[in-house]
């Protein structure tokens, strides 16, 4: 093959990996872009027969090169040796014991071809503990669901995965891998280029198969891996970003043979005690085949709130570096869910014990893609950190309203929802450009495609605090007016009743906003008058 035709170079570093090398080369030659793939095997002084195996493959394939050193070197020294002679426009590390989906490299290269501003592409991976599995494996023990790229989050945990693809010319600008490192050299390089502003792109598909081997470099010496990773975090964290965040837990999810049917999405911000109550109500569910993804949207630490109630290991906590908004927090969680049924829980609301059980039964019986339950509205106050219930009332009547009226106002509280995962394929995720009412926006999109099923079992407690200023929806009348206008413009309607209702609502919101402005002007005048009076008295 003409070397100029190589689109991508796969680097295979081996040391005493004879039992893996044949399967590795077969896996790479099965790639859909194998005709544009260069394979460089670097044998770092192995005492086994990798060289003989590779030479046998070289007789069959002209795109394989073999380099051997007589002394053992680190993985990253081997990678650097291959990079120095690689011909591909793109590079990837093909670990000898890992495997790929047949179109994995094509998908990752395409992501970089499409996103010219990105230099590294990464995808999700299955995990197995069985050696030399082939795609698709029947022995999956877990899955790495990586998040969308965010530079600050990368400093909390390495989520680039075991099989990324990157542009070769990165090394001309940012140097090679640190050959002195033995375990976290790839992470160090990703942090180095992330701090320099290099963009990464996530391909949200499972494209790889990772062998969780107890004798692998990373898992065999966790202390070394953690020490090197922490040093890299400290070394490359830009001081202009503020304090270095704490490292986060793994994105490894448990075996797909134990995949939860229900995924509960929880976004939280600065309400650790209320969050604990919400999660306690989840932990007390009669139905047990669920997981929860909690996303702390840049607020105060909630690890203790989660740890205190998560006795079954079903709750995953993720942290946004800064506040990105409820929509972004929910989207982060949604991208990591495994369940076929998606539910939502606000951090200040609670489920009754039979809530999830009722949802699962209703969904499986009806086949409906979207349903919502009844709810109880509880008015409460917080006194010394304790919740004091002031009143409660049934909001069943408002929930029975014709769903077409969603085009005028939202009458379905988010925690009462449940929908099938595939609904998101049709309507997309929460709109991150909205400061509030993003749940209403996606609800309209859902309602335009499906009839909703209402179950009148009141299994959710919607909690409100009239004197509190911690509700995103209630604390800013101007933002509320703006978001209503956005939604009305986005979803026009020929229905005259709905159009009339919209005009009344906008008029009421406008009046409330003007009253608030008048109140603020009055208060400002009072303060100015007092200040002037104080100045006069001071001079006299």
pLDDT of residue 531 exceeding 80, the answer is no
Beta carbons within 8 Å of 490's beta carbon, 6+ residues apart:
441
pLDDT of residue 250 exceeding 80, the answer is no
What confidence score (pLDDT) does residue 398 get? 61
pLDDT tens per residue across span 110-133: 999 999 999 999 998 888 889 999
Q: Which of 112, 136, 84, 398 is nearest to 256 (CA)?
A: 136
SS (H, E, C) 391-416: EEEECHHHHCCCHHHHHCCCCCCHHH
Between 479 and 326, residue with greater pLDDT: 326
Are 413 and 375 spatial neighbours (Cβ–Cβ below 8 Å)?
Answer: yes
pLDDT tens per residue across span 69-92: 999 999 999 999 999 999 999 999
Other C-beta atoms closer than 10 Å to the C-beta of 238 total 14
pLDDT of residue 480 exceeding 90, the answer is no
- Using pLDDT thresholds of 50, 70 and 90, give the confidence band for residue 540: low
pLDDT of residue 523 exceeding 80, the answer is no
- Using pLDDT thresholds of 50, 70 and 90, give the confidence band for residue 1: very low
- Please give the Cα distance from 25 to 50 (Å, whole number): 11
What confidence score (pLDDT) does residue 256 get? 44
Give the mean pLDDT of 184-206: 96
Q: Which of 168-177, 200-209, 493-502 tops mean pLDDT?
A: 168-177
Max intra-chain CA distance, the chain: 103
Between 242 and 258, residue with greater pLDDT: 242
What confidence score (pLDDT) does residue 404 get? 86
What confidence score (pLDDT) does residue 221 get? 67
pLDDT tens per residue across span 164-190: 999 999 999 999 999 999 999 999 999
What confidence score (pLDDT) does residue 522 get? 55
Q: Long-range contact list for 48-53, CB < 8 A, 24+ apart?
A: 48/16, 48/17, 48/18, 49/18, 50/14, 50/17, 50/18, 50/21, 53/18, 53/21, 53/22, 53/25
- Using pLDDT thresholds of 50, 70 and 90, give the confidence band for residue 490: very high
Are 70 and 59 spatial neighbours (Cβ–Cβ below 8 Å)?
Answer: no
What confidence score (pLDDT) does residue 474 get? 46
Mean pLDDT across the chain: 89
Other C-beta atoms closer than 10 Å to the C-beta of 386 total 9
What is the DSSP-derived secondary structure letter of residue 417? E
């Amino acid at each position: 093959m003409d070397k100029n035709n190589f689109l991508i170079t796969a680097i295979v570093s081996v040391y005493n990996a004879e039992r893996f090398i044949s399967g590795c080369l077969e896996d790479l030659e099965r790639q859909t872009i194998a005709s544009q793939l260069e394979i460089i095997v670097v044998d770092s002084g192995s005492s086994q027969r990798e060289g003989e195996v590779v030479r046998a493959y070289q007789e069959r394939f002209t795109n394989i090169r073999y380099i051997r050193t007589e002394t053992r070197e680190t993985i990253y020294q081997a990678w650097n040796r291959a990079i120095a002679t690689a011909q591909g426009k793109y590079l990837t590390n093909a670990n000898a014991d890992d495997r790929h989906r047949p179109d994995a490299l094509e998908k990752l290269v395409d992501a970089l071809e499409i996103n010219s501003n990105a230099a590294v592409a990464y995808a999700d991976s299955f995990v197995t503990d069985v050696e030399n599995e082939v795609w698709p494996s029947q022995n999956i023990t877990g899955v790495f669901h990586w998040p969308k790229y965010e530079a600050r989050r990368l400093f909390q945990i390495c989520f680039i995965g075991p099989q990324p693809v990157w542009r070769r010319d990165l090394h001309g600008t940012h140097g090679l891998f640190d050959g002195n490192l033995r375990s976290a050299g790839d992470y160090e390089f990703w942090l180095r280029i992330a701090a320099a502003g290099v963009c990464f792109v996530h391909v949200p598909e499972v494209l790889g198969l990772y062998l969780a081997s107890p004798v692998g470099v990373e898992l065999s010496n966790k202390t070394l891996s953690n020490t090197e990773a922490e040093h890299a975090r400290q070394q490359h964290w830009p001081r202009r970003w503020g304090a270095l965040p704490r490292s986060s837990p793994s994105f490894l999810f448990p075996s797909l043979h134990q995949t939860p049917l229900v995924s509960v999405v929880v976004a939280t911000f600065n309400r650790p005690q209320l969050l604990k109550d919400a999660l306690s109500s989840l932990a007390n569910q009669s139905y047990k085949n669920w997981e929860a993804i909690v996303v702390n949207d840049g607020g105060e630490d909630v690890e203790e709130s989660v740890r205190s109630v998560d006795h079954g290991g079903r709750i995953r906590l993720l942290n946004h570096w800064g506040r990105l908004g409820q929509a972004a927090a929910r989207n982060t969680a949604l991208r990591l869910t495994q369940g076929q049924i998606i539910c939502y829980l606000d951090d200040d609301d609670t489920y009754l014990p039979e809530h999830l059980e009722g949802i699962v039964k209703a969904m499986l019986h009806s086949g409906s893609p979207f349903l919502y339950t009844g709810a109880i509205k509880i008015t409460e106050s917080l006194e010394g950190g304790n919740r004091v219930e002031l009143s409660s009332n049934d909001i069943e009547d408002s929930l029975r309203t014709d769903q077409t009226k969603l085009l005028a106002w939202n009458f379905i509280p988010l925690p009462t929802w449940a929908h099938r995962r595939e609904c998101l394929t049709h309507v997309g995720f929460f709109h991150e450009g909205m400061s509030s009412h993003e749940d209403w926006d996606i609800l309209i999109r859902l309602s335009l495609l499906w009839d909703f099923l209402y179950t009148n079992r009141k299994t959710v407690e919607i909690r409100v605090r009239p004197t509190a200023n911690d509700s995103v929806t209630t604390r800013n009348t101007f933002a509320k007016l703006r978001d209503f206008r956005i939604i009305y413009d986005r979803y026009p309607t020929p229905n005259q009743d709905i159009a009339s209702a919209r005009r009344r609502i906008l008029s009421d919101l406008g009046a409330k906003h003007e009253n608030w402005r008048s109140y603020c002007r009055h208060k400002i005048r009072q303060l100015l008058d007092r200040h002037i009076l104080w100045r006069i008295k001071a001079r006299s």
